[in-house]
Chain A
C-alpha cells in the first residue's frame, strides 16, 4: 500500500488518480480496464469483495455472457467464489449458444444487450432458467419484458464496474429498485452511493451520474427505493 491515499468521488477521479494512490487495501485481486466515453481507467476488485456482491443467485450451472471481457471474467470469478463452476460465454453467439446447450445452464448472468441476443436460445429451452440477472447501468424495460417467460425470476441489477451492485429490481414495466445490502444511497441531482464495506478503492459519497426519482426513504434519510429517470 502507498503512503498517500486519495478518495474518489466520481469517474473523473478514477481517471485522474493513479490506481496505487487509491488502493486502500492490498489483497489478491483482479484489475480491470473500464472503458468510458470520457476515457479509460483501472478498477481493482479483491476476490473477497467480488464474492460479496449479489451478481446472481446460487445454482448449479451458471452462464456468464457479457460484452465486456473484463466484466465477464469478474462475474465468472464471482461464480467460483460462490462455489459454482461457470460457463463463460464466448463473444461468438453460435458458440455461446452451443456451449450453453451442452452445459445445460440453469442461470444466466448478462448485460442487457447480451441477454437480448440470447432470446432465440432462451425460447428454445424446454424449462425456464432459475434466474436471469441483468447487470447494467441503465435498462429499457420494454425491450427486456420479453425475457420474463424464460426464467423464474428476472433481476435488473443496477451496477457500475467501479462500484459493484447498487440496487436491484424485479423486471416489470416500471421497475422499482431496492438499495442493495451494504449500500447507502443519497440523492441530490443524481444517485450518490456509499458502499459500507471497504473496497480496494472505497466508494464513499460517489456520484454515479445516474438520475433517479426517490420512492421511499429510510429513517436516516437515505434512499430505500427509487426508479430510474430518463433525464
Chain B
C-alpha cells in the first residue's frame, strides 16, 4: 500500500475533523451508531478525540456465552461507556455489566464481587490481574470467558489467568481507542495470533531480519474517514501462510514500541524477558522498573540499562544489589543466543546498573515496567 504512514499527530487531526463533521451535520440516527472517544495511554503524546462508529457485530462474540459481565476499567471513561453501549446493543435479552473503577477497590470489594459473581471478565489484563487477588476463589471458578484487550497479553499473564480461572477460555482483541478494534484473536492461539477484521488492512513497516516492525493499520473509522497506514504504536510481524483456523492473513503483536519491545544497540529488550528474570530472582525482587538508554558516543554507541528494584520485606543492601546486578545480567537474554552479561563483555552494552528503592512503585492504570529513555 502506497503513501507515507500516518503518525499520531495525523490521527489527532483526523479525529478533530470527525468531531467537527459530527457537530456540523449530525447523522440521522446518531445515538445508535456513534460514540465520542478519547484516548489515553502510554504513547506519550496528547489525547485523540474522535467520533467512531460502533461495531456491535465484532463485539457480540465476546458476550455470546456470558450473562453477568465485569468490565475491568480501561482508563478512559469514554472507553468504559463504549463497553456499556456495546453490551446494550448485543443481542441477548439479559446481561448485567459492572464497570469497575480504580476507586472501587476498597475493603468491601471482595463481598461485592461475590455478590455480582461474574461469568465473564472484559478489559485490560493488567487490571484484571490486580482485581483477581480480591475475587473469592469460588467466584473465579465460575468465570467462563476472559476477554482481554488494550494491552498485550503475555505468556505470564495467560498462565496466571489459566491458574486463577480454571474454567475460563481466554479471548483477546487488538486495537486502540482512536481506531477501534482492528483484529480478533485466533481461536487456536488467542494471545499471540490475530486476524484483521473485515475491511481492515495490516502491514509491517521496515521489518527487521525477524520480520518485526511497526504495525500499520488502514480502516474506516467514521463515515468516509479512514486511517491509512496508521502507525498504531505497536510492533509485530506478519505470519506467512494461511492459518489453521482458515483465515488467510495472520499477524503477531510483539508489544508496545519503546516499552514492551525495544530495539537497542542491536539487541531486543522484551518486557516478558525482564519479567521472567525478575521472577527468577524473587528473593530479591518484588517489583522492578527498567529503563534502557543509549550510552557511549555517537560514533560508538552502546546500550545501557538501569534496573530499579523494590523488595517488600526490606531494602536490598549493597551485597544483595551486587548479586542482583550479576545474576540479572547473566540470565537476561537480549537476543536468541546472547545474554546481557555476554553483550557487556563484547562491548555492545555498558554494565547493568541496579538501584534499590525503598517504596513501592506508584500504581498506574497501565504499569510500564520497561521503557526506553528518550534520546
Contact = CB atoms under 8 A, between A and B. Distances in A.
A99 interface: yes
Interface in B13-47: 16, 19-20, 22-23, 26, 29-32, 34-36, 38, 40, 47
A73 B80 contact: yes
Given A31-B98, A33-B104, A89 B36 contact: no
A52 interface: no
- Interface residues of chain A: helix, strand, loop or mixed (majority): mixed
Instruction: Please tell me the size bucket of the interface on B.
Output: 35 or more
B101 interface: yes
A70 B73 CA distance: 11
B115 interface: yes
B212 interface: no
Contacts of A102: 16, 19-20, 49
B112 A40 contact: yes
Given A33-B112, A69-B101, A90-B76, A44 B36 contact: no
A18 B98 CA distance: 15
B53 to A, nearest CB: 11
Contact of B31 (A28, A39, A80, A95): A80
A69 B116 contact: no
B84 interface: yes
Given A18-B115, A77-B84, A77-B85, A95 B38 contact: yes
Contact of A99 (B38, B104, B115): B38
A83 B31 contact: yes
Interface in B219-274: none
B346 interface: no
Contacts of A31: 96-98, 116
Nearest to A200: B96
Given A33-B112, A84-B31, A90-B76, 4 more contacts: A35-B103, A42-B115, A85-B31, A103-B23
Interface of A: 18-20, 26-33, 35, 39-42, 44, 47, 60-61, 69-70, 72-73, 76-77, 79-80, 82-91, 95, 98-99, 102-104
